[in-house]
Amino acid sequence: MAETFISRGFKGRARETDRAIKERIPPGQYETKDFPVLSAGPTPRTSLERWDFSIYGEIAEDLKWTWDEFRKLPRETVTVDIHCVTKWSKLGTVWAGVSVDTLLESINLEAQPVIGNVIAFCDGGYTTNLPLADIRGGKAWVVDEYDGSPLAPEHGGPVRLLVPHLYFWKSAKWVRGFKLVREDRAGFWESVGYHNYGDPWKEQRYAGD
């Protein structure tokens, strides 16, 4: 049915003809130049004096960075396309922060192959779950700058997770750390009907997709 239905009289907006750009937009998405904001509740505001980033779970020793310590870690600037499950994609966004590989560096993860998943936790109680493999190997960052400026609170500042190869809700705002776990467990949006993994190229928007 879905293959044959045509919306009478629908022409759509003038189509992007640049193949290079077209190929960067996943199915069902459209390009936006704005930066829309989506979140379930109020924007949390945590003072930088009280802020820290921690990694705990099934590892020998918990890790924790204060804001000053975090800011002294080796930094990377990345330019990536981002895709929100609400259909907008934004191309060529520029972020700066710390690679998750850098944060995980001191943990001998190869010695603990049972740890397969991570739960990112945030101010405001938000959580999101990801396979550990999806935040390693240069695929994820903890960022505190967007477009050359400190990340605004409504966009997740002081820091958010950036996992551009998954739908953007996985790039949790206001992230405060990772819990490394064996078993996968649904996070906030994942437990209210959104897809557990969220690959935009497979259009995994909702549970069952």
Partner 1 sequence: MARQLKWQLGTVVEIRQETPNVKSLILDVPDWTTHLAGQHVDVRLTSEDGYQAQRSYSIGSPPEDTYLMLTVERIEDGEVSPYLVEELRAGDQIELRGPIGGYFVWDARDGKNDGSPLFLVAAGSGIVPLMAMIRHRANWENRVPTKLLYSSRSYEDVIYREELHEMSANDSSLRVIHTLTRQQPPNWISYRRRIDRAMLADTAWPQVEKPLAFTCGPTAVVEKVATELLELGYEPERIKTERFGPTGG
CB 196, min distance to partner 1, A? 9
CB 128, min distance to partner 1, A? 14
CB 43, min distance to partner 1, A? 6
Long-range contacts, stretch 41-49, CB < 8 angstroms, 24+ apart: 41/124, 42/124, 43/124, 43/153, 43/154, 44/122, 44/123, 44/124, 44/153, 44/174, 45/153, 46/123, 46/158, 46/174, 48/158
CB 40, min distance to partner 1, A? 5
Distance CA 19, CA 5 (A): 26
Q: Nearest 5°: phi and psi at 124?
A: 90, -5
Burial of 92 (0-12, 13-18, 19+ CB in 10 A): exposed
**Between 3 and 49, whose beta carbon lies closer to partner 1?**
3
**Between 27 and 113, whose beta carbon lies closer to partner 1?**
27
**Between 8 and 19, whose beta carbon lies closer to partner 1?**
8
**Between 178 and 188, whose beta carbon lies closer to partner 1?**
188
Report the interface residues with partner 1, using CB under 8 A.
1-2, 5-13, 15, 28, 30, 32, 34, 36-44, 86-88, 124-125, 154, 188-189, 191-193, 205-209
What is the token pair recorded at 69?
Answer: 């310590």
**Between 40 and 133, whose beta carbon lies closer to partner 1?**
40
